[in-house]
Amino acid sequence: MPQYPNIPSVTPRPRRAIDPVRLRERMVRELASKGIHDAAVLQALRTVPRHLFVPEALRSQAYEDTALPIGQGQTISQPYTVALMTSMLEVQAGMRVLEIGTGSGYQAAVLDAMRCRVFSIERLPELFENTRRVLQAMGIRSVHLMRGDGTMGMSAAAPFDRIIVTAGGPEVPAPLVAQLDNNGIMLIPVGEKKRTQRLLRIRKDNGRVFQEDLGNAVFVDLVGNHGW
């Protein structure tokens, strides 16, 4: 039998536990340094556990300011994008908000934390079921989920004070404009080429629709009757 020299045992170094509260606070400070100053938005991002909305293997990156894959060719938007779009939406507590593209459910959870009544539509069955389970496990039952073509909106629950579209399409879907309430605001990425859009803010005032270009945007594709 071969003889081996005595080798001192080495105690493996324990993995450093992730501290979500500390990481969220650091993320919020970073967002504030990048120009996000809406106190209600920052508080919501400080509260919502983003790591629960990403695959377990990526949770160590959950509070970095980057988009992450969530499967089905979809991503969870980077925190800065979520914070910026939420700020631009100008939401107030009690507002009825329609989200097109539930995705991971993170944006819906942020709006819920801001005490909005959230209605969200997801097209992909597997993603819809996964996100529904995540929200239920977190005890978030006030977000109303529907699976279907987001470009058609949710007429049964209309009108909406705010509409946020988290995917880019070739046009502003007419059904969404119709479901936007008077004095309402809609954010939507629009462009003639996929993954190359301009973020538009649509306002409705006494039946008239006004459009504001907020700059370049890159989002996953908006698929449906009024999308790609």
Longest CA pairwise span in the chain (Å):
91
According to DSSP, the residues that pair with 193 across neighbouring strands are 196
Distance between CA atoms of residues 215 and 174, nearest Å: 22
Contact by Cβ (8 Å): 195, 119: no
Round to whole Å and give the CA distance between 106 and 42.
14
- Residue tagged active-site, from 60, 77, 104, 142: 77
Q: Give long-range contacts, CB 8 A cutoff, 24+ apart: 12-17.
A: none
CA distances from 205 to 38, 158, 177 (A): 24, 17, 12
Is there a catalytic annotation at residue 77?
Answer: yes
Question: Token pair of 204, please?
Answer: 């409705």
**Cα 173 to Cα 109: distance, rounded to the nearest angstrom:** 24
Please list, in sequence order, all residues whose beta carbon lies within 8 angstroms of the beta carbon of residue 195, skipping any fewer than 6 positions away: 168, 218, 219, 220, 221
Which active-site residues does the annotation give? 77
